[in-house]
Amino acid sequence: MIINRRVQTLDEFTIQQMRDFPHATGELAGLLRDIGLSAKRINVEVNKAGLVDILGDAGTINVQGEDVKKLDIYANNQFMGVLKHGISCAGIASEELDDFIAFDDPVSNNSKYVCLFDPLDGSGNIDVNVSIGTIFSVYRRITALGTPATIDDFLQPGIKQIAAGYVVYGSSTMLVYATRRGVNGFTLDPSIGEFTMSHSNIQCPPTGRIYSVNHGNYFQYSKGVQQYIQRCQQKTKADGGPYTQRYIGSMVADVHRNLIKGGIFMYPSTIDKPKGKLRLLYECNPFAFIMEVAGGNATNGTKRILDVEPTELHQRSSFFVGSKNMMEELEECLNLDL
């Protein structure tokens, strides 16, 4: 029996980080606490989505051209509100906002960071009770402190991320947070209402047996992608298989599973979506950062995702992310497309 087990809460973790770095201003720790608070509030609404009139479309369309669910708006407003009234964030960009928002008040203008969010990814699954998630990305601003954040603070390549993470609202609610020092997972303990460290120093297994892709688009994929999928289908015990195909249609849930168990997630470009579907800045970059810190890889099929220089807030990208060895085998197949 384990007694007096020392379980570190998210807040205790951030305070420990500040003890480890005495010169730290505490802004990044404060930012993580703000995100954790917003996630707890969103979790309450997600968990009762079937009980209150929060289901269904909010009647508006986001930049994805998707019906915006009321929970998307609620989640977006939670992050915007908490960060605007915090001390750590100069502004945000979000899938639910056509343009970025500079908070432009004296405290926010002196904050070091900007955040980008997909506040509630996989929202098409809300009404059918499938896991959904929040994805976030943190950059140090490049414009002068004391001035409002500008678009340049947001259009930075993923390699410049200071931190990134996600929240998966699933069978349990878990916040996964990465800096260059490592990836840590915190599971929400409803009995105390705190995220508590449950997965320290997450490493993605160098290989796995799970591949995640929407088979419905198979005949729209390039020859190289089709060849890799066929290789996955033909794996035997002798060559590390057999593989299994798992695709929830909720990226946070799919990538989280592959991060923990090993595997590869693919959203390739298709004939209908030649630039891909997923958004570079607040979907691909955060997961690419997390996966690389955990030992995996992430590309757009031809280039390391973190090296892509963004030109627009909501630009799309094809996306491949996962276990190192599986990504290397994929690359062999994608060379066929060159």
**Interface with ligand P6P by CB under 6 A: which residues?**
121-122, 124, 214, 249-251, 254, 277
Smallest distance, ligand P6P to C-beta of residue 108, A: 29
Neighbour order of strands in the sheet with 319-322: 244-245, 210-212, 264-267, 319-322, 297-299
Q: Which is nearer to ligand P6P, 22 or 216 (CB)?
A: 216
> Which residue of this chain has its Cβ atom nearest to ligand P6P in the complex?
251
Residue 284 Cβ, how far from ligand P6P at the closest point, in Å?
11
Of the two residues 150 and 214, which places its CB atom closer to ligand P6P in the complex?
214
Nearer to ligand P6P (CB atom), residue 174 or residue 251:
251
Q: Which of 189, 207, 206 lies closest to 198, judged by CA?
A: 189
**For the chain, what percentages of helix, strand and coil (3-state, to nearest 5) are there?**
40, 25, 35
Burial class (CB in 10 A: 0-12, 13-18, 19+), 53: exposed
CB burial of 4-25 (b: ≥16 within 10 Å; e: otherwise) equals eeeebbbeebbeebeeeeeeee
Minimum distance, C-beta of residue 64 to ligand P6P, in the bound complex (Å): 7
Q: Which is nearer to ligand P6P, 225 or 251 (CB)?
A: 251
Instruction: Kindly provide the residue ranges of all beta strands, DSSP E only, lying in 5-151, ordered along the sequence.
Output: 57-61, 67-69, 89-94, 101-102, 113-121, 132-140
Smallest distance from ligand P6P to CB 254, Å: 6
What is the smallest separation between the CB atom of 265 and ligand P6P, expressed in angstroms?
8
